[in-house]
Chain A
Amino acid sequence: MATAHLETTIAPEKIAAMYLQYEVEQFYTHEAALLDHQRFEEWVDLFTDDTAYFMPIRRTVPRRNLSREFTQPGEMAFFDDDKATLVGRVQKLGTGTAWAEDPPSRTRHLVTNVRIIEDLGTELTVETCFHLYRTRLKSEIDEWIGRREDVLRRTEEGFRIARRDIYLDQTVLLSQNLSNFF
């Protein structure tokens, strides 16, 4: 009876939207698990070969100058990586001599507020909020909270990240480095 009730009261496109939301959220949960389990080779495979991974610099500016709050592509940034550079970062972690992550940081990627902004069929634009919590050595704690805007491409293997823009809620970074992925 419950099924019949659903069919009569929820339009099929709403069911489809819910399923898409579920798929997207499952993708991000999986991605976060790969990062927090240090499975970086699998993580980097989630990016397309033509991907762009970009974290601009944020600045405290007067409200009327807000258009200048973030640097733009082509200007300075914290990350401005193509696929080869991202793979290079993963290889660096795998050398056994990347001291910034040896002993490894303990990270937890909490991904939330998942909003599908646009669905163009082959690609989706998705906004997420994240909280990356990192502890290091005996008592160091770093936290980054921010917003990501991804372009997710539908492929035969599932979603792949064709672009990621990462907007941190910090201007002067409070951490000694950014040796983790966002």
Chain B
Amino acid sequence: MTIEAPGTTAHLESLVNVATGELDRRIFSDEEIFELEMQHIFGRAWLFLCHETQIPKKGDFFEAPMGKDNVLVVRQRDRSIKALLNTCTHRGNAVCRAEEGNVRNFMCTYHGWTFGLDGELVGVPGMSDFYRDELDRTKHPLRKVAQLDNYKGFIFATMDPQAPPLLEFLGRTGRIAIDLLAERGDIEARPGVQKFTLNCNWKFTADNAFDYYHPQITHISAQAVGMIPSADVNDTGGAKTDEGKALGVQRLPTDLDTLVALGEYGHAISGPSLDSMLRTLPPEMHELVTWRRNPGPLAALGPVGSRFAGHPHLFPTAWFTMDAQISLRVPRSAGVTEVWWFSFKDRNESPEEQKAQLGRQIHSFGPAGFLEQEDGENWSQSTAQTRGGASRDIPQLLKMGLGRGKIIHEDGVARIEAPVNEHAQLWTYLSWLAWVKGTSWDELRSATTPGDYI
């Protein structure tokens, strides 16, 4: 086995083998690779910051992470939105220490340099006495992100001036991901972003969004108490507890009818088709998706997009759920990731519907969610075992459906129809490799444009 020099293209290419569906576990714990990710992925990609309804009034701000940078998303006096780096241009101190709130300006508590909502330096104590009026205030505003854009109220930014426009970055698949939330109605962010900390690599959280193989085991207890529907099909496949008892594993009723979309730059959707989802939901739950038959959503989603009911995930870290939430995964180090849950409601829905949805949002996901309680330890333990000298040499497997992913191109969407599979996870890592190599935007787009098979 050849060991390539760390960080070189040849080394990185040796870490992801799409043909065999095997990954090198070092990608989950190597700090050098994490730094490459910070530079080439989080320093370049369009990243979700927040929703415009989180900052409705002038002076409202929300602090969002972009890689290791902290960005203040600020509502301006003219109602527009700017995103400013939360670091004083004098000595670097954070000019704002709150997660969210409302201000008239940002004053650095170190020396008092004061910046307007637009980031302009408007106050410097001792300007004439100490600086003798020789400091050019116009040269030292709070720095802005390279590009900022808003897709249907969802605010994104990139630190790369060369990045393609947001709409192109999202592509058809990325836009469908957001439309599945934005087109529900008159969308408003609910106050309160749940934030919690996992001792895992961020990529475990990202690829898990596509993993419809794990609920039947990881979330079996939630299934047992009726939080998720189960099929009559009992398919233990030999799963036994450590005392030798066969687990009553019931696969999800939708598992034989799933729909995958693979998008440019690494976006993807994976999970049940809407038809199969409807077959398993009790009739009284069907109204949860009636909005999708309205003309607006139908036109935005298109004939193919309208069929998805799985988990859309914008590369690198934004998962949009089917119940109006976004799970943003925030990498802090190779082994630490924060999860931030943004939750939404449709202002047109009745108070009863809004309340019922709030209950589903709180009780499904988040740290106390019936489902997500169980996820963190899988990922933290998986991350921990990538640090063992012998354990890390065992490849990470993504072989389910390997080579069987026939891609159908229709309405601008590259889709696969198959039983539960690992195509979207493999697509994530294929794209990750293209990103982390630091190739040009053209090469990146070309490497992440779906062909006829995966």
Contacts and interface: CB of A to CB of B under 8 A. Distances in A.
Interface of A: 55-57, 59-62, 65, 68, 71-72, 74-81, 85, 88-89, 91-93, 95-100, 171-179
B367 A173 contact: yes
A75 B190 contact: yes
28 contacts: A59-B99, A59-B100, A62-B98, A62-B102, A65-B98, A71-B192, A74-B358, A76-B190, A78-B194, A78-B362, A79-B362, A85-B359, A92-B221, A92-B370, A95-B225, A97-B220, A100-B373, A100-B374, A171-B195, A173-B367, A176-B198, A176-B199, A176-B367, A176-B380, A177-B367, A177-B372, A177-B374, A178-B196
A89 B267 CA distance: 35
Interface in B78-122: 97-103
A173 B195 contact: yes
Given A60-B98, A75-B190, 13 more contacts: A55-B368, A59-B100, A62-B101, A65-B102, A71-B192, A76-B361, A95-B220, A99-B374, A100-B376, A172-B195, A172-B338, A175-B196, A177-B372
B368 A79 contact: yes
Interface string B203-247: 000000000000000101110111100000000000001000001
A98 B98 contact: no
Contact of B373 (A56, A62, A65, A179): A179
B140 interface: no
A96 B242 CA distance: 12
Contacts of A172: 195-197, 338
Contact of A171 (B99, B191, B377, B380): B99
B101 A61 contact: yes
A15 B137 CA distance: 69
B367 A95 contact: no
B355 interface: yes
Contacts of B378: 99
Given A57-B193, A76-B358, A173-B197, A97 B221 contact: yes
B367 A80 contact: no
A59 B63 CA distance: 11
A51 to B, nearest CB: 15
A176 B204 CA distance: 14
A61 B377 CA distance: 31
Contacts of A59: 98-100, 192
A156 B363 CA distance: 32
Interface of B: 97-103, 190-199, 218, 220-222, 224-227, 241, 247, 338, 341, 343, 355, 358-359, 361-363, 366-368, 370, 372-374, 376-378, 380
B195 A95 contact: no
A99 B218 contact: yes
Contacts of B341: 76
A68 B224 CA distance: 38
Contact of A176 (B97, B226, B376): B376
Of the candidates B100, B103, B362, B380, the one having the most CB atoms from chain A within 10 angstroms of its own CB is B362
Contacts of B359: 80, 85
A76 B224 contact: no
Nearest to B354: A74
Nearest to B340: A172
A138 to B, nearest CB: 10
Contact of B191 (A71, A80, A100): A71
Given A173-B197, A176-B197, A85 B377 contact: no
Contacts of A68: 100-101, 191
Contacts of B101: 61-62, 65, 68
A27 B2 CA distance: 66
In this complex, which of A71, A76, A89 has the most chain B Cβ atoms within 10 angstroms of its Cβ? A76
Contacts of A77: 192, 362
A153 B380 CA distance: 42
Contacts of B361: 76
Contact of A100 (B197, B227, B338, B377): B377
A92 B197 contact: no
Given A173-B195, A176-B377, A179-B373, A76 B362 contact: yes
A60 B220 CA distance: 36
B367 A78 contact: yes
Contacts of B343: 76
Contacts of B99: 59-61, 171
A85 B363 contact: yes
A178 B368 contact: yes
B193 A177 contact: no
Nearest to A76: B192
Contacts of A98: 221, 373-374
Nearest to B100: A59
